[in-house]
């Protein structure tokens, strides 16, 4: 899925706004509304499914600025052509390694990032969102065989050892697909439980 090159040219924001960011095509524009899964490493020292800012010193996703790839290159190969592929949503997922043992080592979708802006940073493209939602592990969507079969008609992918290993999964989901509809519905229902402020408070406290 793509768009005409002209429609992918960023429209500059008005003076007085954050002029270093450019507008991103809206959901209503033809060809847009698709989603892309992006993996991140979670922190084992937190109850929240937050990026690993302790051991791996991860900088992305950048909850503090509601951006992705602004401070470091992550999954760039998958999302640098987001505009041309009509991607409107980045869907963050992880293998939970945190303090809550009942959820540990299971895969969850923890964040929904509707793209609202983009800009070039060095040799990469960064994205920002006006209204991202990041959830607690309890409110996140677990990726298991039941959910995967409902969305894609098959069991969750397994590696050569017959174990779930979704770290390098590349999954593009089309607008109107069971997967994207299910994800959007879940996050719409949970938006009142958005933990983004708690994510940021934890990072500020630790630094």
Supply the pLDDT for residue 134. 98
Indicate the domain borders of the chain.
5-206
d(CA 39, CA 47): 18
% of the chain at pLDDT higher than 70: 89
pLDDT in tens, 67-77: 999 999 998 88
How many Cβ atoms from other residues are within 10 Å of residue 135's Cβ? 25
pTM of the shown model: 0.88
Return the C-alpha torsion angle 184, 185, 188, 189, nearest 10. -150
Average the pLDDT over 31-47 and give the result: 96
Average the pLDDT over 38-56 and give the result: 97
Please tell me whether residue 15 adopts helix, strand or coil conformation. strand
Supply the pLDDT for residue 164. 75
Looking up tokens 């923890």 gives 110
In 98-123, which positions are buried (b, 16+ CB within 10 angstroms) versus exposed (e)? beeeebeeebbbbbbbbbbbbbeeee
pLDDT in tens, 79-121: 999 999 999 999 999 999 999 999 999 999 999 999 999 999 9
Contact yes or no for 151/93 (Cβ under 8 A): no
* Structure-token pair, residue 47: 């109850």
Average the pLDDT over 127-140 and give the result: 98
Cα distances (angstroms) measured from residue 33 to each of 60, 103, 104, 117, 197: 23, 31, 32, 15, 26
């Amino acid at each position: 899925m793509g768009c005409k090159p002209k429609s992918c040219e960023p429209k500059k924001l008005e003076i007085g706004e954050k002029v270093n960011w450019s507008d991103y095509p809206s959901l209503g524009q033809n060809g847009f509304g698709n989603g892309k899964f992006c993996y991140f490493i979670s922190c084992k020292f937190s109850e929240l499914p937050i990026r690993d800012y302790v051991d791996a010193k991860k900088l992305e996703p950048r909850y503090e600025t509601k951006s992705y790839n602004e401070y470091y290159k992550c999954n760039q190969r998958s999302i640098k052509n987001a505009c041309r592929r009509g991607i409107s949503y980045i869907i963050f997922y992880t293998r939970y390694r945190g303090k809550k043992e009942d959820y540990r080592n299971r895969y969850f979708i923890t964040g929904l990032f509707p793209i609202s802006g983009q800009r070039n940073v060095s040799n990469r493209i960064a994205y920002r969102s006006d209204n991202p939602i990041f959830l607690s592990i309890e409110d996140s969507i677990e990726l298991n065989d039941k959910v995967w079969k409902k969305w894609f008609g098959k069991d969750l992918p397994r590696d050569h050892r017959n174990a779930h290993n979704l770290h390098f999964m590349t999954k593009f989901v089309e607008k109107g697909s069971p997967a994207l509809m299910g994800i959007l519905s879940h996050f719409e229902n949970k938006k009142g439980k958005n933990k983004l402020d708690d994510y940021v408070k934890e990072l500020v406290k630790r630094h």
